[in-house]
Structure 1
C-alpha cells in the first residue's frame, strides 16, 4: 500500500509534525530520513527491513559504507545524509556540554562521552578537560588503538592538560566488544594518571568506560577517591 494512501495521522512525517519526533518508532524515524521507498516497498517497509537486517537503528547508522550502499535504494546521497545526521547529533551534544555552566549532571556527561566514543570501531582514549569550577574546556581523543587495546602515554595527557590550563579532567575509553567492565590494566592506568596529574594540581574526577548500555563510572564503583 502506498504510504500516501495511509491516514494522515499514521504517515511518519505528518505524525512527527502533529505529535513530535518522540512519538515515532525507530522505523518511522528512519523512514522520515530516507524519504522514499523502493519498487514494491514503501519507505516504512524499507526502514523496517533495514532495522531487522542490521539489528537496530544504531547498528544501521554506524554500519560500514559498503554495507549501507549494498542495500537497494540506498545510494551515496542518502548515505551522506545519514552520516551528516550522526555528526550533527555529536556536534549538538558537544556544544551543549561546552556551554554548560558546570557538570551538575553525571548522566549528561555519560551521554555526551558515549556519543563521542561508542561508534568507534577500535579502542580509543579521550579526555574531557575542565576548569576549576568543573566547566568543560575541551574534549579530545588522544590515542587510537586496535579492536581491544589502545596505548596511553601519561606524559601526553599531562601535556594536553597544561595546554588547556585544566584544573580537572574526566578520562574515558571505549570497549568495542560491548562490555563496560574494567580490566586490571584499566584500573592501573587510572591510578597512574591520577598520581601523575596530581603533580601538576590536576584532579582526575572519573574514568568512564563506554560499552553497550550505560557507561561504567569508575568513580561510582569506588576505584577513584579523594
Structure 2
C-alpha cells in the first residue's frame, strides 16, 4: 500500500497532524437526513473552535471567510482542484469539503493521497495546507480506542484546504504553540465517550 502523505501544517513549528494508518475502522453511522454542510459547520463551531483545537479556525468562522461545500466521494478530487486558486488568492480563505456519501476510511485515505498529489501538480505546494478529518479517523501510533483519535474525527469526512501563510501566522501566536500535544491533552481529559457525543450532537 502507498504511504499516506498528510501535509503537516508548518512542520518546522512542530507536528500537528500525525500520519494515519489504514485499518478496518467502523464508519461512523450518520443519519441520512443529516446535512453535511450544516453538520460540518456546527462541528467546526462547537467542537473545533469551541474546544480551541485549532488556533486559525475561529477568525475565518467569525468573519465569514470559511466556506463549506458538499461533494460526493467521486467528485471530491475535482471539487478540491476547483478551490485551489481561490484559497491561494485570498487571505484567511479556507474551504472545507464535506463528503456526503459513506466513504470508508480506507477509501478516504486514497482520496487524501490524490488531493495531496493534485496540490503538487497545480504548483501550490507551500501555499496550500491540507487538513484531514473523518468519522473513523485512526492514528497509526495509538490504540484503537484511544481518545486522541477524536482530534481528527468529524461528523462527515472532510478535506480542509487552508492557506499555509495563515496557518504559519497562527502557529507563531501564543495560541498556536504546541497545538498537537495540547489538543491530545484536551480530548483525553474529556474522554472518548464525551467526544463521541459532542461529534454526534453536530449531526443536523
Tell me which interval the TM-score lies in, with the shorter structure as reference length: 0.3 to 0.5
Structure possessing the higher radius of gyration over alpha carbons: 1
Structure number with the bigger relative contact order (C-alpha 8 A, sep ≥ 6) is 2
TM-score by length of 1: 0.31
Alignment TM-score, normalising by the size of structure 2: 0.33
Q: Which has the higher helix share?
A: 1
